[in-house]
Amino acid sequence: MNVTKLNRSGLNVSRLNASLLNAGDMGCMGSKGKETMEDRIMQSMVLWYDLAKQGATNESMAADPRLIDHSGNGHHATCYNFAWSGMSGIGGYAMDFTRLSIMSKENTQVSSTKIEIKSGYEFANGGVVFLNTNSTNIFDFPNYRVKVSGLNSNLIYRYIGEDGDKHDIFLTNGVHDLPASHNSLYATGRTAIGFCFLTASETDIVIEQLPLYSNALVSDGVDDYADVTGLPILTKEKGYTVVAKRKYLDTVSCIACKNKLNQLNGGFIFELTAPTGQYARSFGGISQITIVSDDISYQTSKKYCEQKLVIGDSDDTDTLTLFLLNNLYCISALYSLLIFDRDLTDEEIEWVKTNLMSE
């Protein structure tokens, strides 16, 4: 992305003056009173969700489970059934440290994503936060990423490889990509899998799990979804535009659809994956597409990322649903989503990508 100046949310502010970012001034003209392309884009905006701009965390979303509409139109979406931890919530965390055993609870604090070990921890040559392979609740570990800080001792990460044998990784301060551990394959007896000391700890140590999809809302494909009602009705005469920054993880559903819950007809279905292929719907018309692998994609009433769409004759509804269609839930990571009440031009879409999408 060619960006000249970024604010904390990663948005390009070199071309956006304060009035354009202020919801109350969205209808203003350019500095000389002439309507600019930016003015026209902002005036056409229906809603704008951006998790980085919102500053969303699992803690804040658990307290107020809404996607905030930054357009100023008040179309906040309510999130349902999210756990706000693991792979159901903000960021996506593959590993849950609380499922592991703790050798010394007096010297170790463990949350689902962080391990804090106090200095003076004397137990050496054994597990600190670990799982015994002969445990009755044995489970395999996924691959995940951690940041280690404060380390001044020999700390290893022990895992079971695909060969069924145990392997050790010596950890240092910094970021580490930890491999999956196939604990169920180990048949040699008992061993501690996870974080282990070879010598006593001399300093405070923090092991923090890093999110897989930073600043994204991750849906689990089980029962997570979000919706909002009371949206303007889109028309075939003006069309619409959807621009999203997202990653598909695994899904037979769609990222977003503007229709009543579990109904196929409405304004649009954005990036639908089915057993028979990939599709988009525009006012009920269905077109087979190839979903692009780019982080940012878009759909207007006439095309999906330069792929032509069939326009049907269905009427739009006032409801937007995310991650759910026809009782099928989507596994995905959504960073931002914008909807406009007309077909934007290619130039306008590029402006939105450059200026209104967080890094």
What is the Cα–Cα distance from 345 to 91, expressed in whole angstroms? 32
Does the domain at residues 97-209 carry the CATH identifier 1.10.20?
Answer: no
Q: What pLDDT shows up at residue 199?
A: 72
- The per-residue pLDDT for range 293-314, each reduced to its tens digit, is 999 999 999 999 999 999 999 9
The domains of the chain are located at 18-90+215-355, 97-209
* Percent residues over pLDDT 90 in the chain: 69
CB 160 within 8 A of CB 185: yes
The pLDDT, as a whole number, for residue 135 is: 72
Whole-number pLDDT of residue 217: 98
pLDDT at 262: 63
Question: Does the fold of domain 97-209 match that of domain 18-90+215-355?
Answer: yes
pLDDT bin (cut points 50, 70, 90) of residue 121 is low
Mean pLDDT of 189-193: 84
pLDDT at residue 159 tops 60: yes
Instruction: Please give the Cα distance from 121 to 128 (Å, whole number).
Output: 9
**3-class SS of residue 313:** coil
Edge-to-edge strand list for the sheet holding 174-178 = 108-110, 114-117, 205-209, 144-149, 174-178
Position 8 scores a pLDDT of 35
- Which among 152, 147, 156 has a CA at the least distance from the CA of 120? 152
Q: Is 125 helix (H, G, I), strand (E, B) or coil?
A: coil
DSSP-based three-state secondary structure for 220: strand
Q: How far apart are CA 39 and CA 74, in angstroms?
A: 19
Average pLDDT, stretch 187-199?
83
**319-330 per-position pLDDT tens digit:** 999 999 989 999
State which fold the 18-90+215-355 domain adopts: Jelly Rolls (2.60.120)
Q: What is the pTM of this model?
A: 0.84
Q: Is the Cβ–Cβ distance between 187 and 144 less than 8 Å?
A: no
